[in-house]
Chains A and B, each alone.
Chain A
Amino acid sequence: MTWKLAVVPERCSGCRICELVCSIQRFGVNNPKKSSIRVMVVYPHPIIRMPIVCRQCKVAKCMENCPTGAIVTKDGIYDIDEEKCISCQQCVISCPFGAIFLHEEMETPFKCNLCGGTPSCVDACPKNALLFLPEHVLGQAQRMASVLKYGHMKEVEYVEKGEKKVLRYADIEKGTTED
């Protein structure tokens, strides 16, 4: 089963803890500029905070465009083979997300390798904006949201064992004249 690192931009607060953890885990230095995940902030129009990180595309543009075959894949995780890499930076400009990074002290570009299978940034994110999910689960949150939007959701508050709880339900009659 392939696992994916998914991003929920709406939750991101822009604290950059993911960048810190990444640089420490990967290169053993406290340097957000050496991380394979970057939070981009756009403000004031539109207002978006979004961590950019490799999506491990199945049809990988970086791999296609690499002239020396330095992008290698193992268990669906792509990484850069420093031996083969000539640092032409073709992969950096090929990536549609800009998820391959450069640093002046580094000879070759670097990208997310999912920490070999358990990405450190996911646990470190205090807003749960980073998720590590089995591939087939991707999109389920959106599917769920559209289902919830479909039925005019109503809420009932009730008390169970002294604890206040909320139950949601869709009202069959909808009660509006729009249809």
Chain B
Amino acid sequence: MRISKRERRKIKGGYFWNILWIDLDREETRFLEFDEAFALNYIGGRGFGAKLLWDRLQKVNIDPLGPENLLVISPGPLAGLYLPAAGKTSFVSISPETGIYGDSSMGGSLGTELRQAGLDALAISGKAKTLSYLFIDNGEVKIISNEKLKGKGSLESEGIIKEDLRDEHIKVLTIGVAGENQVRFACVTSDWGRNAGRTGIGAVLGSKHLKAIAVRGSKDLPVFDLPRLRIASEASFRDLRQNKNFTFWQEQGLMSVVDYVNEAGVMPTFNFKEGVFEHTKKVNGYEMLSKYKIGDTACFACPMACGNVCLVKEGKYRGTVVEGPEYETACMFGPNLGVHNFGAILKANQLCDELGMDTISAGNLIGVLIEAQESGLLSEKDLDGLNFKWGVEEAILETVQRIAHRKGIGNILAEGSRGVMKQWPHLRPIISQVKGLEQSAYDARVAISMALGYGTSDIGAHHTRAWTIAKELEMGMDWPLEKKADLVIYHQTLRPLFDMLGVCRLPWIELGFDENQYAEFYSAVTGFETPLNQLLQRSMDLYDLTRAINMEFGISRKDDYPPERVFDMPMTEGPHAGKILKREDYEAILDIYYQKRDWTKEGRVKDAKIAMFNDPLVSE
């Protein structure tokens, strides 16, 4: 019976047709088979995650750090295949940082390994009795208790587990001390320094007493028409390699963005007060290349190799080795804190990686402390007597440690911006956050589309959904609001689609790779001819679904505003000195945005649409 049902399917490749559900409370594992409609409508990656989360929310109330929270790890149907940058895995859960829908994605090889183990997604609920790790060996699951991993760093744990299981090729996902201590912005790490940083996925794992997940898989990945995929991919790889910026990109990776952002005057400087940093030359890509970079690193199947391996060869941070920094880290620990010692940035990056926390949130919150000290909003006693000043590295590095171990002031910061605002309500105006997620490293004052992107992002102030700032600054400053809203919606539709498919967005955004190729890949892999606009429609629907999830937690128009200082604190330097965002403009663009999304004026998804998400497509 089952075989004939499979033969009738429109989708003939791309999926193993099962989700592995691990219930840690009962130490029970089940394979759930899903309907074809589930694959068609939600595609994979964060799509699968959001739908599973929605189904669960209909049955139980979820506390982000409670055992009932669900963590879905899902790579997407294109992950692990021979096409550019097919190495992304999505992590979806109710976020401990924001208390609403949260997701984050990771590169590296973990997704490929999960797929090769024969899984389309992994869902974890419950809580282990003691600190444990999972070992998924080609779909077979073991829950291994190991108290020895307690207090070990992320990378250190990866090494220990690889040694335990005697396999260097195994892929291991770990959390650090921050994750164990449920720091609200703890991250998960794999492949010696690839992180899914945002929304506190590491804290979810920590709350489940799961230190790590080790995966080994060796199955052939299902592709309907491999020769067709190969032709399309080879053309794509060739296009990318012929791009004039290709070598430059390999050399600097995301660090090349530092100079660009500073020239554009939107560099987060001194806790987002300013938009240009006078010492940018000491923290940019060229500085890294000439003194620190010792190697390139790439995620699975990615020709662009944007990762940098850096080593500090002299000075007090001598011997610091880190896979990084990425642009965000360099800015949040550099200009945003007034630091212009690249070695110190690398040290902070390494500490955050090893302790297992998000560099964006950590850098952002420490910036808040420095500004609070400077403007007298917090006293020295509040700040544990640490010397918080712009550019003073010691206090910054010490605070990073204290956050992970939840000591003193670190214990307050570990609760994320929502916790800090609860403790010190008067700091609210100086904290750059949306929905409780700290703003990432692009200023939102100048480009209203970027402010809208932050405001309406389903996870909070992160640029992953809509990074429209470059386009608006380069060509769209005098566009009508309508067109800017369209730009945001297009980004919020296409970029999440990459996460659904399991591929990286950087070839498209940085090297101008044609997004229509992904429709070709999808069609070749699944055997179901699908044009890009149909895939985009799935992604549009998913945005409604994540909004619906957020509505369950009371999110509405009131939460869709960019950080406060965007409206009332103009920069004093740089090309955009004196500019602020006008509140009435933002209200206007928000109205347009809701209208285009077919949401109500209060920012609610209409009931008829929500009903669409209620079909049970996964049989438990």
Give residues in A with beta carbon < 8 Å to B. 10-11, 13-17, 20-21, 24, 28-34, 38, 40-41, 43-45, 47, 49, 103-105, 124, 126-127
Contact B307 A16 (CB under 8 A): no
Set B112, B218, B223, B296: member contacting A104, Cβ < 8 A: B218
Q: Assuming the A-B contacts A44-B192, A44-B321, are A30 and B220 also in contact, with contact meaning beta carbons closer than 8 angstroms in the complex?
A: yes
Contact A47 B301 (CB under 8 A): no
Contact A30 B298 (CB under 8 A): no
Contact A47 B305 (CB under 8 A): no
Contact B116 A14 (CB under 8 A): no
How far, in whole Å, are A173 and B497 apart by their CA atoms in the complex? 62
How far, in whole Å, are A39 and B475 apart by their CA atoms in the complex? 43
Minimum CB–CB distance from B39 to chain A (whole Å) comes to 18
Contact A30 B296 (CB under 8 A): no
Contact A32 B237 (CB under 8 A): no
Q: Which of B290-324 contact A (CB under 8 A)?
A: 294-305, 307, 309, 311, 321, 323
User: With a CB–CB cut-off of 8 A, which chain A residues contact B298?
Assistant: 13-15
Contact B303 A49 (CB under 8 A): no
User: With a CB–CB cut-off of 8 A, which chain B residues contact A126?
Assistant: 237, 240-241, 250, 303-305
Set B218, B305, B323: member contacting A31, Cβ < 8 A: B218
Can you list 9 A-B pairs, Cβ within 8 angstroms, ordered by A? A11-B296, A17-B82, A17-B237, A30-B82, A30-B220, A30-B226, A41-B191, A44-B321, A126-B241
Contact B220 A34 (CB under 8 A): yes
Instruction: Enumerate the 5 nearest inter-chain pairs by beta-carbon distance, A residue then B residue, closest first.
Output: A126-B303, A15-B298, A13-B305, A13-B298, A13-B296
Contact B241 A29 (CB under 8 A): no
Which of B191, B223, B295 has the most CB atoms of chain A within a 10 A radius of its CB? B295
Minimum CB–CB distance from B559 to chain A (whole Å) comes to 40
Q: Assuming the A-B contacts A13-B307, A126-B237, are A24 and B230 also in contact, with contact meaning beta carbons closer than 8 angstroms in the complex?
A: yes
Minimum CB–CB distance from B612 to chain A (whole Å) comes to 33
User: With a CB–CB cut-off of 8 A, which chain B residues contact A104?
Assistant: 218
Q: Which of B129-147 contact A (CB under 8 A)?
A: none
User: With a CB–CB cut-off of 8 A, which chain B residues contact A103?
Assistant: 218
Contact B302 A15 (CB under 8 A): yes
Contact B297 A49 (CB under 8 A): yes
- Other A-B pairs beyond A30-B229, A31-B219, A43-B193, 14, CB < 8 Å: A11-B296, A13-B297, A13-B305, A15-B300, A15-B301, A28-B226, A29-B226, A30-B221, A30-B226, A32-B116, A34-B220, A41-B168, A47-B311, A126-B241
Asked whether B437 is an interface residue with its Cβ less than 8 Å from the other chain, the reply is: no
Contact A127 B155 (CB under 8 A): no
In the complex, which residue of chain A has the Cβ closest to the Cβ of B216?
A33
Asked whether B109 is an interface residue with its Cβ less than 8 Å from the other chain, the reply is: yes
User: With a CB–CB cut-off of 8 A, which chain A residues contact B323?
Assistant: 43
In the complex, which residue of chain B has the Cβ closest to the Cβ of A32?
B112
Interface size in chain B (residues, C-beta < 8 A): 42
Which of A10, A31, A127 has the most CB atoms of chain B within a 10 A radius of its CB? A31
Set A20, A21, A30, A40: member contacting B168, Cβ < 8 A: A40
Set A20, A28, A49: member contacting B295, Cβ < 8 A: A49
User: With a CB–CB cut-off of 8 A, which chain A residues contact B193?
Assistant: 43
Contact A14 B112 (CB under 8 A): no
Minimum CB–CB distance from B119 to chain A (whole Å) comes to 15
Asked whether B81 is an interface residue with its Cβ less than 8 Å from the other chain, the reply is: yes
How far, in whole Å, are A21 and B218 apart by their CA atoms in the complex? 16
Contact B294 A47 (CB under 8 A): yes
How far, in whole Å, are A155 and B219 apart by their CA atoms in the complex? 52
In the complex, which residue of chain B has the Cβ closest to the Cβ of A124?
B237
How far, in whole Å, are A48 and B139 apart by their CA atoms in the complex? 30
How far, in whole Å, are A75 and B81 apart by their CA atoms in the complex? 33
User: With a CB–CB cut-off of 8 A, which chain B residues contact A40?
Assistant: 168
How far, in whole Å, are A103 and B169 apart by their CA atoms in the complex? 13
Minimum CB–CB distance from A120 to chain B (whole Å) comes to 10
Minimum CB–CB distance from B330 to chain A (whole Å) comes to 20
In the complex, which residue of chain B has the Cβ closest to the Cβ of A43?
B192
In the complex, which residue of chain B has the Cβ closest to the Cβ of A15?
B298
Contact A24 B226 (CB under 8 A): yes
Mask for B111-126, Cβ within 8 A of A = 1, else 0?
0100010000000000
Minimum CB–CB distance from A29 to chain B (whole Å) comes to 4
How far, in whole Å, are A44 and B80 apart by their CA atoms in the complex? 25
Contact A16 B300 (CB under 8 A): yes
Contact B80 A30 (CB under 8 A): yes
How far, in whole Å, are A10 and B309 apart by their CA atoms in the complex? 12
User: With a CB–CB cut-off of 8 A, which chain B residues contact A14?
Assistant: 297-298
How far, in whole Å, are A16 and B191 apart by their CA atoms in the complex? 13
Minimum CB–CB distance from B352 to chain A (whole Å) comes to 15
In the complex, which residue of chain A has the Cβ closest to the Cβ of B321?
A44
Minimum CB–CB distance from B216 to chain A (whole Å) comes to 9
User: With a CB–CB cut-off of 8 A, which chain A residues contact B321?
Assistant: 44-45, 47
User: With a CB–CB cut-off of 8 A, which chain A residues contact B169?
Assistant: 38
Which of B226, B296, B299 has the most CB atoms of chain A within a 10 A radius of its CB? B296
User: With a CB–CB cut-off of 8 A, which chain B residues contact A47?
Assistant: 294-295, 309, 311, 321
User: With a CB–CB cut-off of 8 A, which chain B residues contact A20?
Assistant: 81-82, 301
In the complex, which residue of chain B has the Cβ closest to the Cβ of A27?
B220
How far, in whole Å, are A13 and B250 apart by their CA atoms in the complex? 10
User: With a CB–CB cut-off of 8 A, which chain B residues contact A11?
Assistant: 296
Minimum CB–CB distance from B583 to chain A (whole Å) comes to 47
In the complex, which residue of chain A has the Cβ closest to the Cβ of B296?
A13
Q: Which of B249-305 contact A (CB under 8 A)?
A: 250, 294-305
Minimum CB–CB distance from A20 to chain B (whole Å) comes to 4
User: With a CB–CB cut-off of 8 A, which chain B residues contact A38?
Assistant: 169
How far, in whole Å, are A17 and B84 apart by their CA atoms in the complex? 9
How far, in whole Å, are A170 and B613 apart by their CA atoms in the complex? 71
How far, in whole Å, are A15 and B241 apart by their CA atoms in the complex? 14
How far, in whole Å, are A15 and B109 apart by their CA atoms in the complex? 9
Which of B220, B304, B321 has the most CB atoms of chain A within a 10 A radius of its CB? B220
How far, in whole Å, are A105 and B219 apart by their CA atoms in the complex? 9
